[in-house]
């Protein structure tokens, strides 16, 4: 159960809320609780603070912040409170809707848990077959790049780079198609990788995956992803180290979802290429500083993470 939304209506149908389900609980904002319990937001805030002051609940475990888009299309950080807080506030304000909401939420949570168990059992049964798929096509990216050698700068170097990490990229391919369960120190002159170089890389990868829409842009957000890492504010770089630039590049390409298919694979490949071009990919002994498994894992963690977990 990850960041799902259901509509809750009171028995009188006079109150309707978009309720978030995440981390095995339900989550409401202060504004939503004020509407549910027919109280002012200030009164709700007072009762919530009393919950923590009286040590009835531990704040860090029942509150989370999420980046939400308001009606003015601007993004704001909003606090959400889980079912423990909602129930506590409901008792304190003696709301007639408190018990009704608790019963509704508890039933929905139970349904999610049962459904999740069944799905996990099925996925476990298929795991051996899925992992076999990871062993196939290790050299796909190598052949794809050599096929595009005339249009790629340093094709041989790129081919060797992607071949070494093709296992990790194919792992992401399996995840994309639902066949797999789910601050740096380097401050020096950098090699700025152009959009054209990234697009050449993506084109080289395209023939390696069985998808007609791999790498097809959905919008212009890819431009934002590759340019944001160079932003300057007040005369200072927002991401001053090469490691920070590389990490943010990976994060933005994954999260912006700029392509119809292949966003995680493209993000991982662009990340590796940026690292390689800036002399960060290999240690003093010539060994890559990030393994195939680590590359895939980090990319998947980003894909399923919430905005407030970016750091």
**Model confidence pLDDT, tens digit, residues 48-94:** 999 999 999 999 989 998 887 767 778 888 999 999 999 999 999 98
Cβ neighbours of 71 (radius 10 Å): 5
Residue 65 near residue 78, CB atoms below 8 Å: yes
What is the distance between the alpha carbons of residues 16 and 294, in angstroms, rounded to a whole number? 43
Distance CA 88, CA 93 (A): 9
Among the ranges given (179-188, 264-273, 292-301), the one the predictor scored with the smallest mean pLDDT? 179-188
Mean pLDDT score of the chain: 78
- pLDDT value at residue 178: 56
Asked if 259 and 178 touch (Cβ cutoff 8 Å), the reply is no
Q: Which of 152, 227, 160 is nearest to 194 (CA)?
A: 227
Could you tell me if 105 and 19 are in contact, meaning their C-beta atoms sit under 8 angstroms apart?
Answer: yes
174 vs 133: which has the higher pLDDT? 174
State yes or no: pLDDT of 143 exceeds 80.
Answer: no
User: From CA 156, how far away is CA 162, in angstroms rounded?
Assistant: 10
Percent of the residues in the chain that have a pLDDT greater than 70, as a whole number: 73
First to last CA, the chain: 22
Contact 101, 33 (CB under 8 A): no
What contacts 2, CB < 8 A, 6 or more positions away? 22, 304
pLDDT at 162 over 80: no
pLDDT of residue 138: 34
Instruction: Give the position of tokens 């993506």.
Output: 202
């Amino acid at each position: 159960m990850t960041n799902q939304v259901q509509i809750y209506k009171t028995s009188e149908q006079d109150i309707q809320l978009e309720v978030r389900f995440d981390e095995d609980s339900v989550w409401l904002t202060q504004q939503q609780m004020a509407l549910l319990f027919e109280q002012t937001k200030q009164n709700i805030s007072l009762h919530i603070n009393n919950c923590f002051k009286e040590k009835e609940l531990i704040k860090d475990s029942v509150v989370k912040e999420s980046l939400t888009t308001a009606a003015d299309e601007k993004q704001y950080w909003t606090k959400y409170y889980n079912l423990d807080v909602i129930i506590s506030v409901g008792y304190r304000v003696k709301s007639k809707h408190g018990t009704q909401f608790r019963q509704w939420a508890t039933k929905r949570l139970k349904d999610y848990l049962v459904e999740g168990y069944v799905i996990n059992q099925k996925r476990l049964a298929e795991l051996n077959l899925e992992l076999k798929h990871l062993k196939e096509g290790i050299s796909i990216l190598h052949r794809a790049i050599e096929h595009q050698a005339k249009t790629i700068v340093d094709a041989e170097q790129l081919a060797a780079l992607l071949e070494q990490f093709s296992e990790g990229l194919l792992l992401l391919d399996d995840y994309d198609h639902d066949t797999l369960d789910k601050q740096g120190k380097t401050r020096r002159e950098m090699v700025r990788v152009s959009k054209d170089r990234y697009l050449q890389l993506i084109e080289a990868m395209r023939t390696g995956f069985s998808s007609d829409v791999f790498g097809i842009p959905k919008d212009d957000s890819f431009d934002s992803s590759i340019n944001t890492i160079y932003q300057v504010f007040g005369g200072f770089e927002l991401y001053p180290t090469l490691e920070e630039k590389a990490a943010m590049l990976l994060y933005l390409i994954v999260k912006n979802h700029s392509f119809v298919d292949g966003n995680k694979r493209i993000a991982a490949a662009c990340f590796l290429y940026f690292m390689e071009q800036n002399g960060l990919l290999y240690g003093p002994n010539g060994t890559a500083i990030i393994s195939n498994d680590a590359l895939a894992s980090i990319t998947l963690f980003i894909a399923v993470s919430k905005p407030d977990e970016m750091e």
